[in-house]
Amino acid sequence: MRLINLAGRAHLQTDNGAIDIAQVSDGKFGPDPQSLFADWKAFAAWGEDADTSSATPFDVQALGPPVPAPRQVFAIGLNYSEHALEAGFAVPETLPPVFTKFASALTGPEGELVLSGESVDWEVELVAVIGTEASQVKAEDALSYVAGVTVGQDFSDRAVQMIGPAPQFSMGKSFPGYGPTGPALVTLDEVGDLSSLRLQCWVDGELVQDGIAGQMINSLPLLVERLSAICTLHPGDLIFTGTPAGVGMGRTPARYLTAGEVVRTEISGLGSMTHRCVSL
């Protein structure tokens, strides 16, 4: 099942287009995409057998974030060894660095990225969506608490991120539009093997990141275990699971985004996002 946010209304995406969930379910579910997580299991069961014959084509420019108003957004740092090394940090051995991207940074998979300065970087990420409240969950059971996954970008203003005396990770990564997700929330039964997902990012047609989810230091089940050991995870919460090597900060000399450049972000089987950089 593929869930999309089309012009603020929850839709199911099919090969022939999209269906409005509230209309097809006679108002049982939707239209607010966030409301689907109030009883995700019931909605997912309905979605498996939903009548999709009324699907119609749609404009991708009208897509918003599949989960527009999560209660919590967790972001994982240094979860790929080569990225940790290019960033100048030791590879974490236990709990990885955790910060947040404030929900006001979330946006859809297409549109403009307004650059906050001259040191804005890219980070393709697999984003997991929690479907069932999770507390003290073990890794072997963790995926049963996950509604699905989507494509994400952790755009980062490195100058703001590194303002002292202590780094300001959450602030540097939470400017408006710095948390695009989409195009769809894809349920795990459709994804298959999470570890085989390929994460790629292009800037103006140049491939700058190319990694595999299986290279994560902390797999998604382990992240759910470690986060839920401390925080209760709520339905609709997001987990940005980290980025592979190839960010601009790790290059010599460092390379950052400039107005006019186009960032394309893709994860195999999940879809792609496109954002054009513009000045403030």
Task: Assess whether 52 and 97 both reside in one domain.
Answer: no
* Domain termination residue (choose one: 58, 80, 98): 58
| Whole-angstrom distance, CA of residue 150 vs CA of residue 213 | 13
Statement: residue 13 has pLDDT above 80: yes
Cβ atoms within 10 Å, residue 205: 8
Task: Assess whether 34 and 139 both reside in one domain.
Answer: no
* Domain termination residue (choose one: 58, 73, 100): 58
Task: Assess whether 54 and 86 both reside in one domain.
Answer: no
Comparing CA positions, the residue from 64, 66, 97, 60 lying closest to residue 79 is 97
Instruction: Using pLDDT thresholds of 50, 70 and 90, give the confidence band for residue 95.
Output: confident
- The structural domain count of the chain equals 2
CA 158 to chain centre: 19
Lowest mean pLDDT, pick from 2-11, 77-86, 95-104, 256-265: 77-86
Task: Assess whether 38 and 69 both reside in one domain.
Answer: no
Instruction: Using pLDDT thresholds of 50, 70 and 90, give the confidence band for residue 174.
Output: very high
Determine the structural domain holding residue 18 and report its residue range.
Answer: 2-58
| Whole-angstrom distance, CA of residue 139 vs CA of residue 29 | 30
* Domain termination residue (choose one: 58, 77, 103): 58
Tokens of 93: 């051995």
- Contact predicate 181/67, CB 8 Å: yes
Phi, psi of 103 (to 5 degrees): -60, -25
Task: Assess whether 52 and 141 both reside in one domain.
Answer: no
DSSP 175: S
Residue 78: per-residue pLDDT: 87
pLDDT digits (tens, 9 = 90+) for 97-149: 999 999 999 999 999 999 999 999 999 999 999 999 999 999 999 999 999 99
State the pTM of this model.
0.96
| Whole-angstrom distance, CA of residue 154 vs CA of residue 199 | 13
Instruction: Using pLDDT thresholds of 50, 70 and 90, give the confidence band for residue 96.
Output: confident
| CATH number, residue 157 | 3.90.850.10
Task: Assess whether 20 and 72 both reside in one domain.
Answer: no
Residue 164: per-residue pLDDT: 83
Task: Assess whether 160 and 229 both reside in one domain.
Answer: yes
| Cα separations in angstroms, 266 against 91, 236, 278 | 25, 22, 21
Strand partners, 110: 274
Statement: residue 178 has pLDDT above 90: yes
Tokens of 127: 């984003």
Task: Assess whether 35 and 70 both reside in one domain.
Answer: no
Cβ atoms within 10 Å, residue 89: 12
Task: Indicate the SS3 state at residue 217.
Answer: coil
Task: Assess whether 112 and 21 both reside in one domain.
Answer: no
Task: Assess whether 150 and 114 both reside in one domain.
Answer: yes
Statement: residue 278 has pLDDT above 90: yes
Statement: residue 255 has pLDDT above 80: yes
Task: Assess whether 30 and 148 both reside in one domain.
Answer: no
Residue 89: per-residue pLDDT: 73
Task: Assess whether 170 and 98 both reside in one domain.
Answer: yes
